[in-house]
Amino acid sequence: MPIPQSKAWLVDGFCRFTARMVRKNFTCFAVQSASELDPPLPHECSVVVYANHVGWWDPIVAMLLRKRFFPDRVFYAPIDAQALEAYGIFRQLGFYGLQLDTFAGASDFLKTSRDILANPKSSLWITPEGYFTDCRDLDRPLMPGIAHLAASSPNTIFLPLAIEYPFWEEPKPMIATRFGTPIRFEPGTSKSQCQDAIFQSLRSTQRQLAQSVMRRELGEFEFLIPPKAKRQGLYDTFRAWKAWAQGRSFNPSHASVSRQRVQPPKGPSDGPG
């Protein structure tokens, strides 16, 4: 299988289009641990970003993260071969067919991926779970292809990425992501060692992201697309009228309501003794 085309002008145009889709369907696009990419990853090394596979939006998330954090690297990603046949334009966006249910398909994946990673300007985005998986399922084993790739790619940086699409106070979900610590495997590292390191690093990154998501603190994130609450129907119209009548500015964010803390009344023993 030849190295797929990845036309920069077409990838960037597709990113502009999908960014509008994200703004329409999500409250924000949040990122954690971008500090892991400062200083930047070595320019003499190609990059594999491996992520958990939550849902349909994952390839779009990958493309937008690549544009923000790796603008000088070429985007590539494997995709189900049947899906690639249905969406032919993806062939010009750096996607290539994946058929891991056969030995020949797995062999083609490894050969094409190694050829891609031979170029230090490449970035390869992979979801090694292989199938859509709930982000709370941290026990599912990863497919072995990424370990074979890691064991034979000493000049490549492997970077874990956790993805979630949680709902907080707003009617639409957010995109929450977290980069983990980059890994560079030394020559001679066994496939089993690579598999274990990749599995543990991905699951650890997912756990850390989950803890932040449960705390619901926007201050723990940076934003590709910042949160911007919108008025939602009759209820928010009533809230806006009430704020106007009370001489207050109106904040359409539902966090302004749901996060109010009501102090418990003082008991007899709470006063000065």
Task: Name the DSSP letter for residue 183.
Answer: B
- Mind giving me the DSSP string for 69-127? H-TTSEEEEEEEHHHHHH-GGGGGBTEEEE-TTSHHHHHHHHHHHHHHHTSTTEEEEE-
Mean pLDDT value across the chain: 86
Assess contact for 202 and 52: CB atoms under 8 A.
yes
Q: What residue ranges do the domains of the chain occupy?
A: 8-225
The pLDDT of residue 253: 55
Cα separation, 83 vs 97, whole angstroms: 8
Q: What does the buried/exposed string (b/e) look like for 217-239 if buried means 16 or more CB atoms within 10 Å of the residue's CB?
A: eeeebeebbebebeeeeeebeeb
Q: Sign (positive/negative) of CA torsion 176, 181, 185, 190?
A: negative
Tell me the percentage of the chain whose pLDDT exceeds 90. 67
Which of 76, 68, 77 lies closest to 30, judged by CA? 68
User: From residue 208, how far is each of 18, 37, 58 by CA, in Å?
Assistant: 27, 17, 19
The pLDDT of residue 55: 94
pLDDT at 241 over 60: no
Assess contact for 37 and 85: CB atoms under 8 A.
no
Assess contact for 48 and 122: CB atoms under 8 A.
no
The pLDDT of residue 243: 56
Which band of pLDDT confidence, cut at 50, 70 and 90, is reported for residue 37? confident
Q: What are 80-106's pLDDT values in tens digits?
A: 888 888 877 888 999 998 887 777 888
Q: What are 203-219's pLDDT values in tens digits?
A: 999 999 999 999 999 99
Range in 35-39, 223-227, 260-264 the model is least confident about:
260-264
Over range 39-52, report the average pLDDT: 94
The DSSP bridge pattern shows strands 222-225 and 29-32 to be antiparallel
Cα three-residue angle 10-14-18, rounded to 5 degrees = 175
pLDDT at 262 over 90: no
Q: Which of 35-49, 185-199, 226-240 has the highest mean pLDDT?
A: 185-199
Cα three-residue angle 136-147-4, rounded to 5 degrees = 95
The pLDDT of residue 139: 95
- Mind giving me the DSSP string for 5-20? PB-HHHHHHHHHHHHH
Q: What are 113-166's pLDDT values in tens digits?
A: 999 999 999 999 999 998 999 999 999 999 999 999 999 999 999 999 999 999
Q: Which two tokens stand for residue 188?
A: 């001679």
The pLDDT of residue 59: 94
The pLDDT of residue 35: 75
pLDDT at 27 over 80: yes
Which band of pLDDT confidence, cut at 50, 70 and 90, is reported for residue 272? very low
The pLDDT of residue 263: 45
Q: Which two tokens stand for residue 146?
A: 């990424």
Q: Where does 8-225 sit in CATH, by number? A: 3.40.1130.10
Over range 41-59, report the average pLDDT: 96
Which band of pLDDT confidence, cut at 50, 70 and 90, is reported for residue 236? low
